[in-house]
């Protein structure tokens, strides 16, 4: 489904991703773990072609099509969804209006207003969200956890094929993390072909959404891949063993 080969990405002349590779097949759950500043959010944004980043070389293929030069809306329409690490606030546009517009533009056959409202109401109930939230400006004044739930609400309505969750667990309390995870798991049950890329620091979310593959990302590319056990190893041992002695020295210098 998603194939990234030899991806090199820069921002402000600084190399962020260097020879990054990943292959995600239909129905697979992948997790990427890595320390702060290693390029995880960069990766998620570059997949959606965020113009702030410069792709120096490499290919991003989705269902056999090179999407590297497509605009973000076209990539989203192909079925890639990104739940942002820090969802932005959009004053003056309600979540309901936004979703209705996107769904109307996306669906080949228009779903009726009644069906749309029912679908959104059910999704909100599943996510234990307050019903009035969709009539407020997108994320305006929402708590961190409410913003994250609002991302998953959009996922449920837009029905993507590839879901990228960039630290969806940060800012969620334990109960909300469970609710959000359960919604992702039930989505995957209903959409057999859908795949997920979970970016996280903590194995806890992976207890709920069991990954088929776990990757450790350091310094802009994947250093080790494995199964769920790798996430537990990372939690126990941290990332130091992956760093070269040179990078540990430079970390020390940075801290001093």
Ligand X SMILES: Nc1ncnc2c1ncn2[C@@H]1O[C@H](COP(=O)(O)OP(=O)(O)O)[C@@H](O)[C@H]1O
Binder to Mg ion among 38, 41, 139, 154 (CB under 5 A)?
Answer: 41
Q: Which of residues 33-62 bind ligand X (CB under 6 A)?
A: 34, 36-42
Residue 36 beta carbon to ligand X: minimum distance, rounded to whole angstroms: 4
94-102: Cβ within 8 A, 24+ apart? 94/134, 94/135, 94/136, 94/137, 94/138, 95/133, 95/134, 95/135, 95/136, 95/138, 95/150, 95/153, 95/154, 96/120, 96/134, 96/135, 98/138, 99/134, 99/153, 99/154, 99/157, 99/158, 102/157, 102/158
* 84 near ligand X, rule: CB under 6 A: no
Residue 199 beta carbon to Mg ion: minimum distance, rounded to whole angstroms: 7
Applying CB under 6 A, which part among 32-40, 60-68, 94-102, 247-255 lies near ligand X? 32-40
* 150 near Mg ion, rule: CB under 5 A: no
Residue 168 beta carbon to Mg ion: minimum distance, rounded to whole angstroms: 11
Q: How many whole angstroms separate alpha carbon 224 and alpha carbon 217? A: 7
Residue 255 beta carbon to ligand X: minimum distance, rounded to whole angstroms: 15
Could you say which of ligand X, Mg ion, none residue 79 binds, taking C-beta under 5 to 8 angstroms by partner kind? none
Cβ neighbour number for residue 136 with a 10 Å cutoff: 16
Residue 148 beta carbon to ligand X: minimum distance, rounded to whole angstroms: 16
Residue 167: which of 90, 82, 67, 46 has the closest Cα? Answer: 82
* 14 near ligand X, rule: CB under 6 A: yes
Binding residues for Mg ion, rule: CB under 5 A, are 40-41, 85
Binding residues for ligand X, rule: CB under 6 A, are 11-12, 14, 16, 34, 36-42
């Amino acid at each position: 489904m998603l194939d990234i080969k030899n991806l090199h990405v820069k921002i402000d002349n600084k190399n962020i991703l260097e020879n990054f590779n990943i292959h995600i097949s239909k129905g697979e759950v992948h997790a990427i773990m890595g320390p702060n500043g290693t390029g995880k959010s960069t990766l998620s944004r570059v997949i959606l072609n965020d113009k702030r980043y410069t792709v120096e070389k490499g290919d991003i293929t989705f269902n056999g099509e090179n999407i590297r030069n497509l605009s973000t809306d076209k990539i989203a329409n192909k079925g890639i969804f990104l739940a942002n690490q820090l969802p932005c606030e959009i004053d003056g546009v309600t979540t309901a209006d936004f979703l209705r517009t996107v769904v109307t533009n996306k669906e080949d056959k228009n779903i009726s207003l009644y069906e749309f409202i029912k679908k959104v109401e059910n999704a909100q109930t599943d996510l234990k969200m307050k019903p009035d939230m969709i009539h407020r400006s997108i994320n305006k004044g929402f708590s961190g956890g409410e913003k994250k739930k609002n991302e998953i609400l959009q996922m449920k309505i837009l029905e993507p094929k590839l879901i990228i969750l960039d630290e969806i667990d940060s800012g969620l309390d334990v109960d909300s993390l469970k609710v959000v995870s359960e919604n992702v798991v039930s989505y995957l049950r209903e959409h057999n072909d859908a795949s997920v890329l979970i970016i996280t620091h903590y194995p806890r979310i992976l207890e709920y959404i069991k990954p088929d593959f776990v990757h450790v990302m350091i310094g802009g590319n994947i250093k080790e891949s494995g199964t769920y056990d790798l996430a537990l190893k990372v939690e126990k041992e941290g990332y130091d063993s992956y760093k070269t002695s040179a990078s540990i020295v430079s970390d020390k210098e940075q801290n001093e």
